[in-house]
Structure 1
Amino acid sequence: MFNIKLVLINSILIVYYLSIDAKPIDEQLGDSSFNGTNWVVLCAGSSGWFGAGYSIQANVYHAYQFIRSNGIPDDHIIVIHTDDIAYNSYNPTPGQIIHSPNGTDVYHGVPKDYTGDDVNGYTLLGVLRGDPSLTRRGKKVINSGPNDHIFVFYVSHGVGDIILLPEYIYGEELVTTLKDMHQNKRYAKLVFYLEACFSGSMFLNKLPTNINVYAVTAANSVEEGLECYYDEQRKIWLAGCFAYHWLHNSEHSDITKLSFDDQYKYIYHQTITQINITDGKVEQHPQQFGDLSIAKLPVSQFFGSKKSMATDNLNEQIVNDYNN
């Protein structure tokens, strides 16, 4: 069993846990050099109401609503989730899932591309590779080409060099899949957001810098991940801190001008936390790996485009502080 540690900070209870639509170039508001299509994979690798099962799936549901609202259609978004919390007997609002206190429902309209027993490591890697055995079952896979951009958001539990889905996926196994995708010209650029405990271990000293993949992890290779926003009514934590902050940053910024580098600095500032507890100091430091030149691109090239919003002043302040 996972070792769960609870700590009260500023009246917020936080838990530590072990931690797809084509858009033509003329619809893109970002860098004009992008002339491909967008593909998105959103994967929640845990199940159940407790043990972070709620927050892990809620993270993916919120991400789906954000991506879909930016114009990427469902046929280019693949959602992998056990789908066992919306109508769970513990849910006081059946059919509705919130991701923040007093938040709006993020479950409505979420595709059921892979649910139940189909949520496993074979599925995730097969979707990325475009496994024909999945398409023969009528399942969606990434059917991308050499000009396309792929965004992957995976969130679940993790231990050193392993993510759970629910069985193990090792770091070398994941990186080998990405290398194969690059060799087979399945993308122009790929961005991978990974939220799990010890998530940095999946890419540390493994992910090359020359296969056009940029990865951001919620923690480094030896740190646990954080959940936030404890809900007294539901008796669970609503969100992963990493997911909550990258989504908040995206939704409160002009994403056609917000770069991945800016977002990384925002996430880093918001999630880096030093807490004195009985067994010492606990820290969480997001990390970035791979081709860091991709971080200069606007996130809209991977998240889709929408009408500009006023840039969050907090984001500008955080980026300036980080650079200084």
Structure 2
Amino acid sequence: MLHKALLLVLAIIQINAAEYDTSILPEAYIDAAQHSTHTNNWAVLVDASRFWFNYRHVANVLSIYRSVKRLGIPDSQIILMIADDMACNARNPRPGQVYNNANQHINVYGDDVEVDYRGYEVTVENFVRLLTGRTQNGTARSKKLLSDAGSNVLIYLTGHGGDGFLKFQDSEEITSQELADGIQQMWEKKRYNELFFMVDTCQAASLYEKFTSPNVLAVASSLVGEDSLSHHVDPSIGVYMIDRYTYYALEFLEKVQPFSKRTIGEFLQVCPKRVCISTVGVRKDLYRRDPQKVPITDFFGAIRPTRVSTDRINVTLADEEDFYTDFDHMPPKKQFKIVIQPQFIAKINK
């Protein structure tokens, strides 16, 4: 029987490189991006509290979700954990919508939100398993943090916290030591290149005190002993809409575009005490780069610098006879036969 085969030929095509204008890219952005070694971005966004009166925590996490998605991180690289579904809560007079402002400027729930962990799936165990890559067998791919040594990872947490802990579901807690251990495992298992830890809760700075892993930059909405306060209430639904720190963080991010000159250093100063009331804490002793030279999109976006070549490339097109188009008239293959050596026949007959 004559077998059909396909001969693959590598054809080199002659093209002329077009002239590209790279002046549209800000010089400050290009200069800073050259020092970045990451190849991809991931975001882990967690609302750890439930119940209607914690509406603001859902608005917090959805505000950050909206921002990172707008700046280029796809849903496939965003892990969103929401402990309660405010959009479909029976008390919500605007079903399917969540706002972070009483003026209802932005519906942060949107039409295409993808929640990966919801309700009682938001637990300390699932969160730690997610960070360390130890998810249980059968876990969907969309629920896994598939980061690697080239990943810049953003971790955002919001909820009710205290000195050295953050509450999950109002029934369990994750401690600052457990967070530090989880991030240390991430580093040892090469699950991040750089990590930006951001937390909006009471006494938030206590959650990064135990960190020892390299390349970690952290910001917290309040210092130890301070409360993290809400911004404003919506009388029509009777709850606070958003927390102060996240409100001003979102205000900053809304002005950021993919090729913006804004830096992480500027972002760390978005909420001075006169507007936050609490004191924002920053930890950068573990971070190797100067935050003032790091583009905000290194963590909140997925824009990678591209080198454009204007050199002429000379290539040629392969000849037509190099391709077989009539497979029925291809040269016949050589006949072959199977030969069994005598020693094997002797073994078979035994």
- Report the TM range for the smaller structure's normalisation: 0.7 to 0.9
- Contact kept? 2:163, 2:203, Cα under 8 Å: yes
Structure 2 counterpart of 1:58? 59
Structure 1 counterpart of 2:100? 99
- Contact kept? 2:59, 2:241, Cα under 8 Å: yes
| Residues 66 and 253 of structure 1, relative CA distance in 2, 3 Å threshold | closer
Find 1:149's aligned residue among 152, 158, 168.
152
Which ranges of structure 2 fall in alignment gaps of 5 or more residues?
1-24, 304-350
Structure 1 counterpart of 2:71? 70
Find 2:121's aligned residue among 110, 118, 122.
118
- Contact kept? 1:85, 1:91, Cα under 8 Å: yes
Structure 1 counterpart of 2:162? 159
Alignment of 1:278-289 (within 5 A): 284-289=278-283
State the secondary structure of the residue aligned to 1:265.
Answer: coil
Find 2:269's aligned residue among 256, 265, 272.
265
TM-score normalised by L of structure 2: 0.71
Q: How many correspondences in the alignment?
A: 266
Structure 1 counterpart of 2:176? 171
Structure 2 counterpart of 1:303? 300
Structure 2 counterpart of 1:250? 253
Distance in 2 (CA, whole Å) between partners of 1:261 and 1:138 is 34
In structure 2, what residue type is equivalent to 1:226?
A: L
Distance in 2 (CA, whole Å) between partners of 1:175 and 1:169 is 10
State the secondary structure of the residue aligned to 1:239.
Answer: strand
Q: Which moved more, 1:261-270 or 1:214-223?
A: 261-270
In structure 2, what residue type is equivalent to 1:213?
A: V
| Residues 82 and 37 of structure 1, relative CA distance in 2, 3 Å threshold | same
- Identity level (%): 26
| Residues 121 and 70 of structure 1, relative CA distance in 2, 3 Å threshold | same
| Residues 147 and 135 of structure 1, relative CA distance in 2, 3 Å threshold | farther
Structure 2 counterpart of 1:31? 33
Distance in 1 (CA, whole Å) between partners of 2:228 and 2:221 is 7
Which ranges of structure 1 fall in alignment gaps of 5 or more residues?
1-25, 274-283, 307-324
The CA deviation at 1:134 is 6.0
The CA deviation at 1:287 is 0.4
In structure 1, what residue type is equivalent to 2:296?
A: V
Bigger radius of gyration, 1 or 2? 2
Distance in 2 (CA, whole Å) between partners of 1:78 and 1:193 is 15
Distance in 1 (CA, whole Å) between partners of 2:272 and 2:288 is 18
Find 2:235's aligned residue among 222, 229, 232.
232
- Contact kept? 1:201, 1:222, Cα under 8 Å: no
Find 2:136's aligned residue among 128, 133, 141.
133
Distance in 2 (CA, whole Å) between partners of 1:271 and 1:127 is 34
The CA deviation at 1:179 is 1.0
In structure 2, what residue type is equivalent to 1:251?
A: E
Find 1:198's aligned residue among 200, 203, 208.
203
Distance in 1 (CA, whole Å) between partners of 2:189 and 2:41 is 17
Distance in 1 (CA, whole Å) between partners of 2:202 and 2:137 is 29
The CA deviation at 1:165 is 1.3
The CA deviation at 1:217 is 0.4
State the secondary structure of the residue aligned to 1:242.
Answer: helix
State the secondary structure of the residue aligned to 1:67.
Answer: helix
